[in-house]
Every structure is written in C-alpha cells, then in structure tokens.
Amino acid sequence: MRRFTAAFAGFVLTTCLLAAQASAPLPDVHQLMREVVEHQKQLDKVRESYTYTSLQTTQDLDANGKVTKTESTENEDFFVNGHAIERAVKKDGQPLSPGEEKKETERITKLVEKAEKTPADQSLEGQTVSISHLLEVMDVSAPRRESYRGRPTIVFDFVGRKDAKTHGMVEDASKKLKGSIWIDEADRQVAHLEVVFADNFHVAGGLLANIQKGTTFHFDQAPVADGLWLPTGGEAMVQARVLLLKNMRQHFMEKVYGYQRFKVETEQAKDAKVKKD
C-alpha cells in the first residue's frame, strides 16, 4: 500500500509539474535554438572525456522493400576538438584483419590531425553548418509542448524555404527538407529529430546522385551522465539514384551504447595518463 501511495503521489506531482509548464508561455523558436547552440558549446569540452560504441547496420532493399544484403560496422567513437571520430573495430561481427586495422589506424591518425586543426563549428568536409543559420532558411510553425520519454519538451515543425539564399550543399539540401524537432525544455538540448525530403535533391546537378523525395531519417539524444547529452541512435530510409544509372534503396540503423568516461591526469605533459572511471 505504501508503494502504491508513493507511486500515486509521484504521478500527481509529475502531472502538476507538466500542467504548470504547459501553461507557461512558449519561448521564441529562434531564441530557443540559440540557447541550444550555446548549451552545446558549454558541453563540448566535457564531451571530449567520453567514448562510446556505435553499431551501424545497412540493409540494401529491392523495389518491393525486400532485404537483399546486410552489412554492419561496429565503431569506437570519441571526440576531438568538438568533432566525432569513428574508428571501425568490427565488420559484419568480425574483428578487422591486420591489414584492415593498419589502414584504419592510418585513416584515423589523419582524421584526428585534421580535427585538431578544424574549428568545432565547421565540419571536417570543410562546410560550416550553423543551426541558427539553417533556421534562417526554414519556416517554423506550430510550437507546442509534448512529453518525450518522460521529459517535457518543446516541439515545432519546420520546412525549407525554396526562395532562401543558401551557401554550400548542406544548406541547399535543407531547402528540400521538412520535419519536426523536440527540444528538452529543462536542458535545452535536441532530444529527437524527424526529417523527410519533401522534394528530390540533386548532388552535383544530379551527376553524382539524386536523393529522392520521401527519404527519411530520425535521430535521438539523451542525458547519459554529468548532465551531458549524447546520441543514442538513429534510423534512415534512403532512396537515391547514383551516377544516373543505379537506383539505391537502403535502410540504415544506428545504435549507440557503452558510454565510458575517461580522466586525464597531468602533472607534466610527458606523464599524461588516461584512465577509465
């Protein structure tokens, strides 16, 4: 009976808190996203102390949606200067061969060196992507409050403005998108994102690829420790035509788990040590 009473009291308290938040005025969407960006900057340095595992599975589909091929890669992920780095450790459930591991080590070494020299707000491919700038090429609507995974969130819909001036492939693609985004109200972090291509998007004028209308993806984050938000997974259904010849249909899934925190103890630079908690 005591357990029931405590559980019921907790339910009533949660309901009252949600009701109080629901009655509060909604913040301006652009101001909200500026706060999200600022909070992310504050967490970037903390995030550098974490590593995790990501399991990525790609399924090739035929015209009827039947799976014709499945490939998977298990990665060790970590951050350098605000950039996520993925080091492959297994392919299709098997450890890399010595030759594959050597090539992967060389690739990661070069990528880390590049990440150390690349500003955190610029992608390693050289394109600068700003959430606040992306919002300038989007029309936002229907701000509202919803509970997502038991936490209060502010949700709004967005759609790319076809008349917006854009720079670079990422911003060009954003004009073709529509979707919804869930922002955790307390922590001002992106909790969930759902996106669909509302129109075809041509890469290099369609010579390299044509991402077809209806391609979708979603993305999730959650607090893991120390108030830190990190990815928990994502999924995409991609339809494209590659090199004007081949139709491609793929189902991509990613699971993220096994977060570990590291401590860096430094009395002198040459004696720096990394320890798992």
pLDDT digit string, tens, across residues 73-123: 999 999 888 888 999 999 999 999 999 999 999 999 999 999 999 887 677
CA distance 226 to 148: 20
Asked whether 213 and 198 are in contact (CB, 8 A), the reply is yes
**12 belongs to a structural domain:** no
For 142, half-sphere exposure in the C-beta direction (CA atoms, 13 angstrom radius) is 10
CA distance 123 to 83: 8
The pLDDT of residue 114: 93
**5 belongs to a structural domain:** no
With a cut of 50, say whether residue 269 has pLDDT above it.
no
Number of domains in the chain: 1
**Between 167 and 223, the higher pLDDT residue:** 223
With a cut of 70, say whether residue 256 has pLDDT above it.
yes
The pLDDT of residue 205: 54
**9 belongs to a structural domain:** no
Mean pLDDT of the chain: 79
The pLDDT of residue 204: 57
**181 belongs to a structural domain:** yes
CA distance 155 to 132: 16
**19 belongs to a structural domain:** no
The pLDDT of residue 273: 35
With a cut of 50, say whether residue 270 has pLDDT above it.
no
The pLDDT of residue 200: 83
Closest to 220 (Cα-Cα) out of 233, 229, 210, 207: 233
Question: Strand 189-197 vs strand 201-203: parallel, antiparallel, or unpaired?
Answer: unpaired
**11 belongs to a structural domain:** no
pLDDT single digits (tens) 7-51 = 433 434 343 344 444 457 888 887 888 888 787 777 777 788 889
pLDDT single digits (tens) 192-239 = 999 998 888 877 554 467 788 899 999 999 988 767 888 899 999 988
Q: Give the range of the structural domain holding residue 100, as residue numbers without chain letter.
A: 26-276
State pTM to two decimals.
0.76
The pLDDT of residue 82: 81
The pLDDT of residue 244: 57
Token pair 């109200």 is found at 185
The pLDDT of residue 154: 94
Q: How confident is the model at residue 264 (pLDDT cuts 50, 70, 90)?
A: very low
CA distance 62 to 118: 40
Question: Distance between terminal CA atoms of the chain?
Answer: 39
